[in-house]
Amino acid sequence: MKKLIPLIFTLALISPLNAQFFGQKKKADLMEAINNAKQIGIALFEFDTDYGAFPSEQTKATVEENAGVTLPEDDKSSDSLFRQIFAAGITESERIFYANIPGAKRGDQAEALKALGKGKNAFTYIAGLNSAGNIARPIVLCPVIPGTTKFDPKPFGGKALLLRIDQSVEVYEIEDDGTVLIAGKDILSKEHPLWDGKQPDIRYPDIPKDAK
């Protein structure tokens, strides 16, 4: 029994340090995601200036014509629409689309047709918006659980980030049921006043399905 005492004492010392380390790591991951979301926002607004809207199926043909390329067929992911930013010559950096969520990996420099392969984009996108819309509407969000209107509390210590049309990035607590509430209502529900009764067109990143 005496042999266990030093081990138990050591674990008692280490455990708080581990908790502190992991807390700091999640804060650092959140700050990186916020900074990247801001860079995505800058790119989106430059795109909006050139094309009159943020990337959507409606802007794709004009982007292709201007760039002289044929983008891959839209797969309804946020990746597909974000590739238009690359084709428009606004960015070549995949790195701004990274956040430390399960299945995501850091990208590098990429041409439009090869940009944002599986796992290289971590951000959910609300399609069909433009800079003339309600400035409080979110256009980029993280970390949303693909296929749902729920947020994953694990990556950022129970926090979620939203990039709004006014280019501000706000951080919110994720509720126990996975929702983010603004003014008491689920921000991804059509019941929220920001959406004028229409369900937002949510596009999810193409993250490997077996990601943990």
Residue 2: the pLDDT is 44
Percent of the chain, pLDDT > 70? Answer: 88
pLDDT digits (tens, 9 = 90+) for 138-164: 999 999 999 999 999 999 999 999 999
**Per-residue confidence at 115, pLDDT binned at 50, 70, 90?**
confident
Other beta carbons less than 10 A from residue 77's beta carbon: 20
| Count of domains for the chain | 1
Residue with token string 């926002």: 41
Q: How far is CA 168 from the centre of its chain?
A: 14
Based on its alpha-carbon atoms, the radius of gyration of the chain, rounded to whole angstroms, reads 20
- Tokens representing residue 162 in the block: 């939203």
210 belongs to a structural domain: no
76 belongs to a structural domain: yes
191 belongs to a structural domain: yes
**Per-residue confidence at 1, pLDDT binned at 50, 70, 90?**
very low
73 belongs to a structural domain: yes
Burial of 8 (0-12, 13-18, 19+ CB in 10 A): exposed
Residue with token string 């690359």: 86
94 belongs to a structural domain: yes
* Structural domain of 97: 4-203
pLDDT digits (tens, 9 = 90+) for 85-106: 999 999 999 999 999 999 999 9
pLDDT digits (tens, 9 = 90+) for 3-30: 444 545 555 555 555 556 557 889 999 9
209 belongs to a structural domain: no
174 belongs to a structural domain: yes
107 belongs to a structural domain: yes
pTM for the full predicted model: 0.87
Q: How far apart are CA 56 and CA 82, in angstroms?
A: 9
Residue 75: the pLDDT is 87
User: Is the pLDDT at 189 greater than 70, yes or no?
Assistant: yes
Other beta carbons less than 10 A from residue 97's beta carbon: 27
**Residue 96's closest CA among 175, 196, 85, 88?**
85
